[in-house]
Amino acid sequence: MNAPILKLFVLVLVLFAALAGMTSYNSVINADEYRENALNQRPLLKQALVKRGAIRARDGSLLARSVRGDDGIYSRRYSPLARRFSHVLGYDYALTIGRAGLEKSRNDELAGAGTELSSIVDDLSGKRQVGDNIVTNLDSRAQQVALDALGGRRGSVVALEPATGKVRVMASTPGFDPNALRDPQTFTRLNREDNSPLFHRATQAGYAPGSTMKVVTAAAALDSGQFTPESTVSGESPIVVSGVPLNNFSNAQFGSITLTTALTNSVNTVWARVAEQLGDGEMAKYMERFGFGSDPPMDYPDEQMLPSGVYDAEQELLDVDSGDVDIGRVAIGQERLRVTPLQMASVVATIANGGMRMEPRIASRIVDEDGRTVERVEPEEAERVMSEESAAQLTQMMSNVVREGTGTAAALQGIEVAGKTGTAELNIPQNLNQPWFVGFAPRSNPKVAIAVTLENIVGAQGGIVAAPIAKRVMESLLR
Amino acid sequence: MTARNRELFALIPASLLLTAGFAAVFIQRDDLLSDLSLTYGAIFLALCLAAHLVLRMTLPDADPYLFPLVAVLACFGLVMLYRLDEDFARDQAQWFVVGLIVFTVTIVALRRDHRILERYRYVIALGGIVLLLLPRLGSPVNGAYLSFSAGPISFQPAEIAKIAIVIFLASYLRDTRQVLVVGARRFAGITFPPLKHLGPLLAVWGTAMALLFVIQDLGSSVMFFGGFLALVYVATNRISFVVIGLGLFALGARVLYAVRPTIEARVDAWLNPFDPDLYEREVGGSYQIAQSIFSQADGGFFGQGFGAALVQLGDNPPLLPAAHTDLIYAVITDELGLLGAVAVLLVYLLIVQRGFKTAMLATDSFSKLLATGLTVVLALQVFVIVGGVTKLIPLTGVTLPFISYGGSSIVANFILLALLLLVSDRARREAMAT
């Protein structure tokens, strides 16, 4: 009977080899896929067992912290100040509704996802793993000024420091209370609300930029070498652009005027002619350099940022030089152009920074639990958009806008401001407009670049509605 | 070196494992060393030594490796249970005392000649079947009738019944194996056993089927029926009998699958563990198997370390249900990685090897069949639960021998070990004499 016993042992060997094989598959071979399975809450729970770092405003005031529950799971608590920064800060309710905003983009630092080695060392030394704290660039006082100035209307204010890309103000109204989202039902309800309080207008909303786009056109005109601020172009109205007549505002007639005058008075026909002369290739080149066509390089989740550009009916980005785009109207912010307030703030910040576009940064420093700075978030150059000389010429033209043109309402006492207004006509029968102001100050040594816009305001002009908001926020930041 | 001295030396790794395991749990918990738990460890080692002395006096020639291998598993199980819940470890330690007493009693009672069991084979068989039917008096757990409660004690009779059935089969097949072979008829290319001896074999098949229908426990039926087929194969050396048996079992399982919704649910959960509907289902869903796999995925090659697996957080429902019984292998993989899990499988494999070795050394048919049967049911039990936990086969609730929490499992497996050692002692002595 020994031969069958031996065969039986071989069978057991095969069965056990299959067990070892399945164990290898589960624990090593296919483990990554299982760890990423949507039903698998273990990675999130493990993070929830680690004390998550706090988030602070620029002045050190607390925005978010974590408290430990009886079951050892930490949960997020937001300070009253956090309500001002609801969108940019986001939320961390990873086990229920997920994460958003800075809480998501800086999760690795906040969760303390250190290296494997350091966690082993921590284990041996008996040190509990904790997340790092983040100090942001956000200015809570100026943010409140922006919110007050928006006054409950749907809109957004973005203010950047031109030389570094630091995000000082990033307001989107209406906002929400991040603490309220601890209840997933509140999240569902807010998600369905008509005025979309969870929607981050500063980074996600694609608005018609109106005449603020002329700044981009002017940059292309000057830097390409084909125009100077003194080049003269006819400002007659209407003219035919891409087979359709184009008017100036109030159908105002201008003769041969310089580009400086054309920007100061926001003459549509001049900038349409300029763009047509430059051609869609040249315009596409400069738009791309300014960052159009891709997500802004900010420390913020990609899915919460919209690339600015020309969108087709299927909501797909179109190539500006594809031949299907009316470049004369793109030049003055019409056509199917959609931009985010962050994109426009980045445009003016680039001009203020002598033509060098900087990557926007929300976080300033990563600080460990003992208060030591682990990492300083250094400014990063994104791309040189234009020469310093072109930027200086454009700055000169934009300061005329605020001194004597459409943007006088943004002027500050004793500080020279450069800027550009915009008024996108969204619904002409109902007279619904999207007013804009973009600009920076002080002109000679810019400390702040700003974009302000509001949604669907009856009869509003950028110079009348948006420019005063920009003025108040810039005042707060420069004071 | 004598067999018993080798056994004594082989117990050293077990004691080191116990010490290292407790130390690891302490470090992980960041606690001060608790005198109480160290005492448990010391008592446990003393018990192992006591059992060793019993063997030294009663079965001097028995296989020297079987007991230390079991002690390694038991120590390891105790550390795992201690890591999950100190109360589990304390209960388990108490059950070890009971198990070792039953172990000693079994050896002392049968040491003159274990073949005395043959005389009582029908009583033993009947007792096994009655045991299996007892849980039917109670209420089902997760759709299966697995345990029987008498006052504060709840036990799983299938654990004891598996031994009873192996004893019966070993004895019955010793009697009939010759006639089964000689009287066999070939029909349509397949060799069939003679009809008049088919009766009891069909009765075994019927019992396995009845088990499926009555207690609805797929795991135990696979164990019983697998042991049965293995014994028939060893007794007759006819693979065709095994094929017929497998066909009959498949037929029964297929019918049951169609009739019993719980079995169908098990199979569904096995095939689609990550189906959100099945995952969310309160009863009979795939939550347990999905969590088992997620837990193993956390382990990786080296594991997260003792005490690091996510099993339960505070008073929330457990993340890993039945971590101390059915899913303990998932916790082992999680904390000790593929390396630790395969090491555990290797220890079982070594026990199986010693068991088969004992069967091959034995000179009489009954002892051969008994050792083979006991070894096969042990191996199949490991296969059924580890296969279930790793999603190789549908998950059914049986214990991981000597490691899982559970009194009846410990006691039954110590009886199994005692019988193997009894067979081994006689076989090795006879082998040495010749």
B327-372: pLDDT as tens digits: 999 999 999 999 999 999 999 999 999 999 999 999 999 999 999 9
Q: What is residue A380's three-state secondary structure?
A: coil
Q: pLDDT digits over A155-181, tens only?
A: 999 999 999 999 999 999 999 999 999
The pLDDT tens digits of the residues spanning A183-203 come to: 989 999 998 988 899 999 999
- Residue A6: list chain B partners with CB under 8 A: 356, 360
Q: What pLDDT score does A117 carry?
A: 46
The answer to whether residue B33 scores a pLDDT higher than 60 is no
Q: CA-to-CA distance for A72 and A51, rounded, in angstroms?
A: 10
Q: Is residue B234 less than 8 Å (CB to CB) from chain A?
A: yes
Per-residue confidence (pLDDT) for residue B185, from 0 to 100? 67
- Segment A311-326 mean pLDDT: 89
- The whole-angstrom distance between B358's CA and the closest CA on chain A is 11
User: Token pair 């009856």 is at which residue?
Assistant: A458
Chain A residue numbers with beta carbons less than 8 Å from the beta carbon of B233 are: 4, 8
In terms of Cα–Cα distance, which of A212, A205, A201, A111 is closest to A157? Answer: A201
Q: Nearest CA of chain A to the CA of B387: how many Å?
A: 6
**Are A22 and B391 a contacting pair at CB < 8 A?**
yes
Residues B166-181 pLDDT 10s:
999 899 888 887 777 7
How many helices (H) and strands (E) in chain B? 15, 4
Preferred mutation among B30, B234, B363 to probe A, highest tally of A CBs within 10 A: B234
**A30: closest chain B residue by CA:** B297
Q: Which residue has the higher pLDDT, B164 or B40?
A: B164
Residue in chain A lying closest to B276 (CA):
A39
Instruction: Report the pLDDT averaged over residues B221-232.
Output: 87
The model's pTM is 0.74
What residue type is B261 in one-letter code?
A: P
Q: Per the structure block, which two tokens stand in for B155? A: 């036990």
- Predicted pLDDT of residue B132: 77
Choose the mutation target among B240, B356, B364, B384 for the interface with A, i.e. most A CBs under 10 Å.
B356
Using the Cβ of B269 and the Cβ atoms of chain A, whether some distance falls under 8 Å is answered with no
- CA-based nearest distance B359→chain A, Å: 8
| A455 backbone dihedrals φ, ψ, rounded to 5° | -95, 135
Task: Identify which of A28, A40, A71 has the shortest CB distance to residue B294.
Answer: A40
| Rounded Cα gap, residues B153 and B25, in angstroms | 29
Question: What pLDDT does residue B188 have?
Answer: 66
Query: Is the Cβ of A27 closer than 8 Å to some Cβ of chain B?
Result: yes
B31, pLDDT greater than 60:
no
For position A126, what pLDDT does the model report? 47
Using the beta-carbon criterion (under 8 Å), do B372 and A40 form an inter-chain contact?
A: no
A427-468 pLDDT, tens per residue? Answer: 888 889 999 999 999 999 999 999 999 998 888 888 899 999
Angstrom distance (rounded) from CA A415 to CA A444: 9
Partners of A46 on chain B (C-beta within 8 Å) are 310
Mean pLDDT of the A267-290 span = 94
Topology, domain A141-177+201-366+382-478: Beta-lactamase (3.40.710)
User: Is it the case that residue A137 has pLDDT exceeding 80?
Assistant: yes
In contact, B45 and B94? CB cutoff 8 Å:
no
pLDDT (mean) for B382-394: 93
- Over residues B227-275, the pLDDT tens digits come to 889 998 998 888 888 888 888 888 887 887 787 777 777 788 888 888 8
pLDDT at B142: 55
pLDDT on residue A115: 44
Asked if the C-beta of A26 comes within 8 angstroms of chain B's C-beta atoms, the answer is yes
Q: Does A28 touch chain B (CB under 8 A)?
A: yes
3-state secondary structure of A55: strand
Distance CA A352, CA A346 (A): 10
Whether A84 has a pLDDT exceeding 60, the answer reads yes
Per-residue pLDDT at B149: 58
The answer to whether A34 contacts chain B (CB < 8 Å) is yes
For residue B95, which of B158, B26, B47 has the smallest C-alpha distance? B47
Evaluated on CA atoms A384, A388, A390, A396, the torsion sign reads: positive
A303 shares contact with chain B (CB less than 8 Å): no
Question: In angstroms, how far is CA B117 from the centroid of its own chain?
Answer: 21
Q: DSSP state, A461?
A: -
**Angstroms from A72 CA to nearest CA on chain B:** 7
User: Which range (A41-45, A61-65, B382-386) has the least confidence?
Assistant: A41-45
Question: With contacts defined as CB-CB under 8 Å, which chain B residues touch A16?
Answer: 345, 348-349, 379, 382-383
B293 touches chain A (CB under 8 A): yes
**Contact at 8 Å (CB) between A448 and A168?**
yes
DSSP B111-150: SS-GGGGGGGHHHHHHHHHHHHHGGGGS--BTTB---EEE
pLDDT tens profile A333-387? 988 999 999 999 999 999 999 999 999 999 999 998 888 898 999 999 999 999 9
Give yes or no for B226 touching A (CB within 8 A).
no
Domain boundaries along the sequence of chain A: 141-177+201-366+382-478
Q: Which of A20, A25, A70 sits opposite B345 (nearest CB)?
A: A20
Interface confidence, given as ipTM, is 0.92
CA distances from B402 to A15, B100, B378 (A): 20, 12, 10
What is the model's pLDDT at position A116? 45
| Nearest-neighbour CA in chain A from B180: distance (Å) | 14
| Residue A1 near chain B (CB below 8 Å) | yes
- Region A212-234: mean pLDDT is 94
CB contact under 8 A, B297 and A34: yes
Report the length, in residues, of chain A. 479
φ, ψ for residue B184, nearest 5 deg: -65, 145
Give the pLDDT of residue B351. 96
- Cis status of the peptide bond prior to B261, with omega within 30 of 0: no
At residue A6's C-alpha, the angle toward residues B64 and B253, to 5°, is 110
Q: Which residue has the higher pLDDT, B22 or A275?
A: A275
Q: A29 in contact with B at a CB cutoff of 8 Å?
A: no
Nearest to A39 among B234, B274, B386 (CB): B274
Least confident of A285-294, B96-105, B137-146: B137-146
Which of A:124-163 have CB within 8 Å of B? 126
Q: Do B379 and A18 touch (CB under 8 A)?
A: no
Identify all chain A residues contacting B293, using CB atoms and an 8 Å cutoff.
26, 34
